[in-house]
Chains A and B, each alone.
Chain A
Amino acid sequence: GENVEQHPSTLSVQEGDSAVIKCTYSDSASNYFPWYKQELGKRPQLIIDIRSNVGEKKDQRIAVTLNKTAKHFSLHITETQPEDSAVYFCAASIVPMEYGNKLVFGAGTILRVKS
Chain B
Amino acid sequence: EPEVTQTPSHQVTQMGQEVILRCVPISNHLYFYWYRQILGQKVEFLVSFYNNEISEKSEIFDDQFSVERPDGSNFTLKIRSTKLEDSAMYFCASSLDGTGRDTQYFGPGTRLTVL
Give the B-binding residues of A (Cβ under 8 A).
Answer: 32, 34, 36, 42-46, 49, 89, 91, 93, 95-108
User: How long is the Cα–Cα vector from A104 to B46 in the complex, in angstroms?
Assistant: 11
Interface residues of B in 66-115 (CB under 8 A from A): 91, 95, 97-100, 102-109
CA distance in complex: A105, B49 (Å): 19
Instruction: Provide the residues of chain A in CB contact with B99, threshold 8 Å.
Output: 96
Asked if residues A106 and B106 are in contact (CB atoms below 8 Å), the reply is no
Are B50 and A108 neighbours in the complex by a CB distance under 8 Å?
no
Chain B, interface size category, equals: 20 to 34
Q: B45 near A104 (CB under 8 angstroms)?
A: yes
Beta-carbon contact of A96 and B109 below 8 Å: no
- Interface 1/0 per residue, B2-39 and A, CB below 8 Å: 00100000000000000000000000000111010000
Q: Give Cα A43–Cα B9 distance, bound, in whole angstroms.
A: 11
- Sample (28) of A-B pairs whose CB atoms are under 8 Å apart: A32-B102, A43-B106, A43-B107, A43-B109, A46-B103, A46-B104, A46-B105, A91-B43, A95-B98, A96-B98, A96-B99, A98-B98, A99-B50, A99-B55, A99-B56, A100-B32, A100-B98, A101-B95, A101-B98, A101-B104, A102-B56, A103-B35, A103-B45, A105-B42, A105-B43, A106-B42, A107-B41, A108-B42
Partner of A89, one of B42, B48, B51, B103: B42
A-B contact count (CB 8 A): 73
**In the complex, are the beta carbons of A45 and B106 less than 8 A apart?**
yes
The 3 closest A-B pairs by CB, nearest first: A99-B55, A96-B98, A100-B48
What residues of A have a CB within 8 angstroms of the CB of B4 in the complex?
Answer: 43
Q: B45, B99, B105: which has the most chain A beta carbons within 10 Å? A: B45
B43–A89 CB distance below 8 A = yes
Cα–Cα, bound, A28→B99 (Å):
19
Tell me, rounded to whole Å, the shortest Cβ–Cβ distance linking B103 to chain A: 6
Q: Across the two chains, which residue of chain B brings its CB closest to A31? A: B102
Min CB–CB distance B2 → chain A (angstroms): 14
User: Shortest CB–CB separation between residue A7 and chain B, in angstroms?
Assistant: 13
Distance to closest chain B CB from A40 (angstroms): 12
Q: Do A44 and B91 contact each other (CB < 8 Å), given the known contacts A99-B50, A100-B33, A106-B42? A: yes
